[in-house]
Amino acid sequence: MIKIHNLSKIYKTKSGSVKGVDDVSLTVHEGEIYGIVGYSGAGKSSLLRCINLLERPTSGTITVDGIDLTSLKGEKLRLARLRIGMIFQHFYLISQKTVYENIAFSLKAAKTPANLIKARVEELLEMVGLTDKRDVYPAQLSGGQKQRVGIARALTNNPTVLLCDEATSALDPTTTKSILDLLKRINKELNITIVLITHEMKVVKEICNRMAIMQEGKVIEEGTVYDTFADPQTELTKEFIKSVVSFELPDAILNKCQGTIVKVMFKGDVAGEGIVSDMLKQFEVKGNFLHGSIEYIQEAPLGIFVMELMGESEETNKALQFIENRSAQVEVLRDGV
């Protein structure tokens, strides 16, 4: 478990001080994949680098597996940090070393006995699917393969936590998917807690359990990924969600509509279309579907429909009440004209 408590990071620069992280408190549970989202400059990397003390916080504490890292120094801090692996957007592999040597290097740095290194590197190569690339140099690898080496290297010392700084941002969508699948597998099979930062909501939707949104060094919203998608609280979060789930209707379509325009949301396993068709049968209203999809936040469905309802306003209200009573969330986007 990672507990971040009142953490701030202030950078002193020639032109004054810059707040990278501003009083952040967060808890990441054991075994979870936690996503931190925000635009460039929001403080994501600063926060992540404070978790393993790559950056020393200006104030506040970081507790990992019950140990307050901010109170440690020297050898004790070095040993605690071995349990926290990290991967980066630009991989940072050593170009003069082969894949095998890149991974072995981390084991040597952690003072692993020489006779154990070969078996461990081979085991890691197998885990990330790079056994056949063991003797090639980074320049001969694709981006996805380089990130796999990065992941193997981060896992060398059996970490309990893996920190990922924009680990898929330099990769195409298909490669991104394969790296996310690998991270998911590592999380499940090795029970490694993952904290990942990204500016892509798609990544969070694909693999995270819970998430935080950062702006100007602060966490402005936090919760399960599902609830955040279903019920975003801040404008910034809504903006991020729009990048993956958009229900914007073209003006030309809206201008043609005379009826009440509603957005109806069904959470979980509620069969949305069935309820809507029951409503249309029972009440004197006509409905036009304008937009709709069922999003899957990992395996959990979230159905969202935008409809135009035409009928007397009293009857329309009754119809909406009917679906609300069947556990749908209804938002009137525009009243009938």
Ligand X SMILES: Nc1ncnc2c1ncn2[C@@H]1O[C@H](COP(=O)(O)OP(=O)(O)OP(=O)(O)O)[C@@H](O)[C@H]1O
Q: Which residues bind ligand X (CB under 6 A)?
A: 11, 13, 18, 20, 38, 40-46, 199
Cα(first)–Cα(last) distance of the chain, in Å?
54
SS3 content of the chain, % helix, strand, coil (to 5): 40, 30, 30
Residue with Cβ nearer ligand X (41 or 301): 41
**139 alpha-carbon distance from chain centroid:** 29
Q: Give the DSSP letter of residue 69.
A: G
DSSP lists the bridge partners of residue 307 as 262, 289
The residues near 50 (Cβ < 8 Å, ≥ 6 apart) are: 4, 7, 9, 21, 56, 57, 62
The whole-angstrom separation of Cα 263 and Cα 145 is 43
Cβ(44)–Cβ(195) below 8 Å: no
> In whole angstroms, how close is the CB of 236 to ligand X at the nearest point?
13
> In whole angstroms, how close is the CB of 247 to ligand X at the nearest point?
27
147 closest CA partner among 90, 197, 102, 188: 90
Partner from Mg ion, ligand X, none binding residue 40, C-beta < 5-8 Å depending on class: ligand X
> In whole angstroms, how close is the CB of 171 to ligand X at the nearest point?
16
Cβ(228)–Cβ(239) below 8 Å: no
Partner from ligand X, Mg ion, none binding residue 157, C-beta < 5-8 Å depending on class: none
The residues near 178 (Cβ < 8 Å, ≥ 6 apart) are: 144
Partner from ligand X, Mg ion, none binding residue 193, C-beta < 5-8 Å depending on class: none
Cβ(9)–Cβ(50) below 8 Å: yes
Partner from Mg ion, ligand X, none binding residue 289, C-beta < 5-8 Å depending on class: none
Partner from ligand X, Mg ion, none binding residue 174, C-beta < 5-8 Å depending on class: none
Residue with Cβ nearer Mg ion (200 or 315): 200
Residue with Cβ nearer ligand X (39 or 105): 39
Partner from Mg ion, ligand X, none binding residue 41, C-beta < 5-8 Å depending on class: ligand X
Residue with Cβ nearer Mg ion (240 or 283): 240
Partner from ligand X, Mg ion, none binding residue 46, C-beta < 5-8 Å depending on class: ligand X
> Which residue's CB comes closest to Mg ion?
45
Contact segment (CB under 5 A) with Mg ion among 16-24, 45-53, 122-130, 305-313 equals: 45-53
> In whole angstroms, how close is the CB of 41 to ligand X at the nearest point?
4
> In whole angstroms, how close is the CB of 44 to Mg ion at the nearest point?
5
Q: Is residue 157 a contact residue for Mg ion (CB under 5 A)? A: no
Residue with Cβ nearer Mg ion (48 or 285): 48
Query: Which position among 7, 24, 33, 45 is part of the footprint of Mg ion (CB under 5 A)?
Result: 45
Task: Let me know how long the chain is.
Answer: 337
Question: Could you tell me the maximum CA-CA distance found in the chain, to the nearest angstrom?
Answer: 81
268 closest CA partner among 304, 240, 234, 238: 304
Residues of the shown chain interacting with Mg ion in the complex, contacts defined by CB under 5 A: 45
